[in-house]
């Protein structure tokens, strides 16, 4: 029968005809020689070898001049660029100390030049995979004849004859060759191998092969395999490790030293025997290598970067370098602190489990049993987020966007828009402090308040009401809703929105009174950024997860700009921080201390209507960390699941993990020099008078010009809302809002 070669088909064409013809031809050939073998048992082997070599060699020679499959858009090389071709490589990312953490999506490869491989590895791969590599021109005709004889006798494929060059051709053009049938693919590989040998030197072919060959678990090339299995560069591998990796080339998943050490050892010993037989390694050295156990490091870098931090790195990398060709193989130096990340993941998971088992009240929602499964949309399970940021630089040290990345890839730390509840109040108070409308010492009205709105009357609730007056400091520490509405209304919602934006909140602030209580939605990363500005003395920083990007040769492509921008009066930042310290040391956030952290700390709790969102954002002089708990579709977590109850403990435990008792933790910026210290009577909010003994004296700090007068309680003829010495002497005149909105109704415990 006639057999005709057909050109490699382009994408979308049908190559089944040529495959069927070639398969039928080989079946007839095998059947014919099988009959000859039975009739002539002594001379048929030689005839078969010669015939097979002539047939396959002639076919390969016929195909030499044809072009390679076109698949450049899928990462394949072109002949014009083959000399300088560099295979696609997944970006690698490193933690803040320069340790390799893992790789972002793509082919996991660490490119190693030919002189970066030890001679023993080069000799071993040739001895095991292609003994005549330096002798043939792409095709090993002796190997082809031997394999054909073995396969025809066995009636199946028992032995291959692919050379290193043919294997490289398969790897380089696989996106198109994978569409071909087996026999057609083999023939195309053969002609590509011959062309490769004409275009490239042997060392270049070997370099490409060692960096392209698949070695299991998503790893390509000996550079990636050496790093992930042994934590080493190829040049540092010992003979046993070299033999193990070379042996894995045959069937990478079967001979994986981490998952199948027994099989990997058997295969390694076979390779060692070859090395001894070929004179590559002395008998004593082989014996020593054979005595070594087969093992791999316990904590390898992530083969494909999984987890919320890696996802954040991928998003930021695509924004900084949109071109995928430039991104290929870059080294991404990140801000990740592995210790902080591990603590955040562990403490959030522990708290979610505690809530679900009823430690904080009856839990009425689904609880996963075993595997969470995969969620393509909103998750049915309780979720959470933790984000920790260096207040001095904006470097994100840890980011957890949910209870499980495998279950839900949606990153709630960076992307979820939620109401912050009372966690927004520090921004309201900071605005009033900046406008000179309040001081921490003066009294604010904490009686019930009702506001006329377009659609009716808005009357926020306040579980923290303990009287008609409270100091501003105490009102923030106890999270009084009525006080916050009065303070916010004194400066107006538009001004509060302006300050929020300056502090780093990019989400829209709704200019209505309910927003003073956290009714406007924002993302957790924005709220943490705002608190970092308080901790940084009023200087705003930009949150980021990438500090530097380098190309394969170490050239810097991007470096995060250092520095910060002053956006808030340092005196206002200092006063706000002082008030937030009281939240933890005696206010709604007192449970944050239960974990044992005793270092500098300031923060605020937050809870929304019907306990749907629970927040705590806290900071010291180094780290600002936000914690959120809730459902993707807002629902009550548990009855009375306040932020101070369920979120603050996560922060406290994480701080204890990172700082111990916290005595050596970084403190807050020093008090600005131009602030005035004054002894006040906490019972009245006035400066202590020489004419009477104060009932509750304490030292308070003031921006010059806002100091209260020195009065005795008897001098106060009538209850006051605030000190009459400041521009904020009339909290009773409230602007009428124009939009009716429903804001958070509860305060925090």
Catalytic residues: 129, 422
Kindly report the backbone phi and psi dihedral angles of residue 188, in degrees, each rounded to the nearest multiple of 5, phi listed first. -65, -40
Bridge partners (DSSP) listed for residue 93: 102, 332
The pair of structure tokens assigned to 343 is 């603590």
Please tell me the distance from the alpha carbon of residue 737 to that of residue 511, in angstroms, as a whole number.
Answer: 8
Whose CA is closest to 683, among 710, 713, 706? Answer: 713
694 half-sphere exposure, CB direction, 13 A CA radius? 19
Please tell me the distance from the alpha carbon of residue 418 to that of residue 508, in angstroms, as a whole number.
Answer: 12
- Contact (CB, 8 A) for 601 and 620: yes
Using CB atoms within 10 A of its CB, is residue 450 exposed (0-12), middle (13-18) or buried (19+)? exposed
Please tell me the distance from the alpha carbon of residue 258 to that of residue 183, in angstroms, as a whole number.
Answer: 34
- Dihedral over Cα of 158, 162, 164, 169: its sign: negative
Report helix, strand or coil for 524.
helix
User: Cβ atoms within 10 A of the Cβ of 538, count?
Assistant: 26
- Contact (CB, 8 A) for 686 and 723: yes
Residues 6+ apart with CB under 8 A from 335: 96, 390, 395, 396, 397, 544, 545, 546, 547
Please tell me the distance from the alpha carbon of residue 84 to that of residue 485, in angstroms, as a whole number.
Answer: 67
Using CB atoms within 10 A of its CB, is residue 112 exposed (0-12), middle (13-18) or buried (19+)? buried
- Contact (CB, 8 A) for 523 and 414: yes
CA distances 417 to 524, 526, 630, 737, Å, are 8, 10, 12, 24
Question: Beta strand pairing status for 92-94 and 331-334?
Answer: parallel
Using CB atoms within 10 A of its CB, is residue 250 exposed (0-12), middle (13-18) or buried (19+)? middle
What DSSP line would sit under 433-490, residue for residue? HHTTS--SSSEEE-S---EEETTEEE----TT--SSEEEHHHHHHHT-HHHHHHHHHH
Residues 6+ apart with CB under 8 A from 443: 469, 470, 471, 472, 684, 685, 720, 721, 722, 723
- Contact (CB, 8 A) for 208 and 87: yes
Report helix, strand or coil for 200.
coil
CA distances 482 to 329, 436, 721, Å, are 56, 20, 12
What DSSP line would sit under 313-380, residue for residue? HHHHHHHH---HHHHTT-EEEE---HHHHHHHHHHHHHHHHHHHTTBTB---S----S-----SSS-S
Helix (H) or strand (E) holding 498: helix 493-503
Report helix, strand or coil for 679.
strand
CA distances 81 to 177, 220, 225, 314, 514, Å, are 19, 21, 27, 29, 63
Whose CA is closest to 579, among 717, 692, 441? Answer: 441
- Contact (CB, 8 A) for 208 and 94: no
What radius of gyration, in Å, describes the C-alpha atoms of the chain? 36
């Amino acid at each position: 029968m006639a057999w005709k070669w057909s050109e490699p088909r382009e994408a979308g064409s049908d190559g089944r005809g040529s495959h069927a013809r070639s398969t039928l031809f080989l079946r007839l050939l095998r059947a014919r020689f099988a009959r000859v073998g039975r009739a002539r048992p002594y001379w048929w082997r030689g005839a078969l070898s010669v015939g097979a070599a002539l047939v396959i060699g002639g076919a390969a020679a016929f195909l030499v001049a044809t072009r390679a499959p076109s698949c450049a858009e899928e990462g394949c090389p072109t002949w014009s660029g083959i000399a300088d071709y560099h295979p696609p490589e997944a970006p690698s990312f490193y933690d803040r100390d320069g340790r390799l953490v893992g790789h972002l999506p793509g082919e996991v490869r660490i490119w190693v030049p030919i002189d970066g491989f030890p001679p023993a590895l080069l000799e071993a791969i040739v001895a095991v995979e292609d003994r005549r590599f330096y002798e043939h021109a792409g095709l090993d005709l002796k190997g082809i004849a031997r394999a054909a004889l073995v396969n025809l006798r066995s009636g199946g494929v028992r032995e291959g004859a692919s050379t290193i060059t043919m294997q490289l051709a398969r790897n380089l053009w696989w996106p198109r060759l994978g569409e071909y049938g087996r026999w057609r693919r083999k023939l195309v590989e053969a002609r590509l191998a011959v062309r490769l040998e004409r275009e490239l030197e042997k060392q270049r072919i070997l370099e490409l092969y060692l960096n392209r060959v698949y070695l299991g678990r998503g790893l390509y090339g000996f550079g990636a395999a050496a790093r992930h299995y042994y934590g080493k560069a190829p040049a540092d591998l010992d003979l046993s490790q070299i033999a193990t990796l070379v042996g894995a080339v045959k069937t990478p998943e079967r001979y994986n030293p981490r998952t199948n050490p027994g099989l990997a050892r058997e295969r390694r010993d076979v390779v060692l025997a070859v090395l001894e037989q070929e004179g590559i390694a002395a008998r004593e050295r082989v014996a020593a290598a054979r005595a070594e156990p087969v093992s791999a490091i316990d904590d390898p870098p992530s083969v494909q970067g999984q987890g919320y931090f890696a996802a954040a790195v991928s998003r930021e990398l695509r924004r900084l370098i949109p071109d995928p060709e430039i991104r290929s193989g870059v080294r991404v130096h990140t801000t990740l602190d592995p210790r902080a990340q591990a603590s955040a993941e562990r403490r959030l998971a522990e708290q979610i489990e505690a809530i679900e088992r009823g430690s904080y009240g009856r839990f009425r929602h689904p609880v996963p049993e075993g595997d969470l499964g995969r969620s393509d949309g909103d998750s049915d399970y309780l979720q959470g987020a933790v984000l920790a940021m260096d207040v001095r630089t904006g470097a994100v040290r840890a980011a957890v966007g949910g209870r499980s990345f495998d279950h839900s890839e949606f990153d709630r730390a960076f992307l979820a828009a939620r109401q912050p509840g009372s966690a927004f109040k520090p921004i309201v108070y900071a605005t009033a402090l900046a406008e000179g409308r309040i001081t921490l010492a003066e009294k604010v009205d904490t009686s019930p308040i009702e506001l006329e709105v377009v659609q009716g009357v808005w009357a926020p609730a306040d579980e923290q009401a303990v009287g008609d007056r409270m100091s501003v400091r105490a009102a923030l520490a106890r999270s009084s809703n009525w006080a916050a509405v009065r303070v916010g209304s004194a400066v107006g919602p538009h001004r509060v929105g302006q300050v929020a934006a300056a502090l780093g909140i990019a989400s829209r602030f709704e200019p209505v009174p309910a927003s003073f209580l956290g009714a406007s939605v924002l993302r957790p990363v924005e709220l943490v950024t705002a608190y970092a500005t308080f901790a940084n003395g009023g200087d705003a920083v930009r949150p980021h997860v990438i500090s530097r990007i380098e190309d394969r040769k170490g050239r810097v492509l991007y470096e995060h700009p250092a520095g910060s921008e002053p956006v808030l009066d340092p005196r206002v930042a200092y006063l706000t921080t002082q008030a937030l310290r009281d939240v933890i040391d005696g206010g709604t956030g007192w449970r944050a201390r239960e974990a044992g952290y005793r270092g500098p700390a300031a923060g605020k709790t937050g809870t929304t209507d019907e306990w749907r969102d629970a927040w705590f954002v806290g900071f010291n002089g180094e780290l600002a960390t936000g914690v959120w708990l809730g459902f993707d579709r807002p629902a009550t977590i548990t009855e009375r699941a306040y932020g101070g109850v369920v979120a603050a403990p996560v922060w406290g435990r994480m701080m204890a993990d990172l700082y111990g008792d916290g005595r050596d933790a970084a403190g807050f910026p020093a008090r600005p020099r131009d602030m005035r210290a004054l002894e006040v009577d906490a019972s009245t909010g006035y400066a202590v008078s020489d004419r009477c003994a104060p009932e509750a004296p304490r030292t308070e700090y003031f921006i010059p010009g806002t100091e209260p007068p020195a009065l005795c309680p008897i001098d106060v003829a009538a209850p006051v809302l605030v000190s009459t010495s400041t521009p904020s002497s009339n909290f009773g005149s409230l602007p009428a809002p124009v939009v009716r909105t429903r804001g958070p109704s509860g305060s925090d415990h």
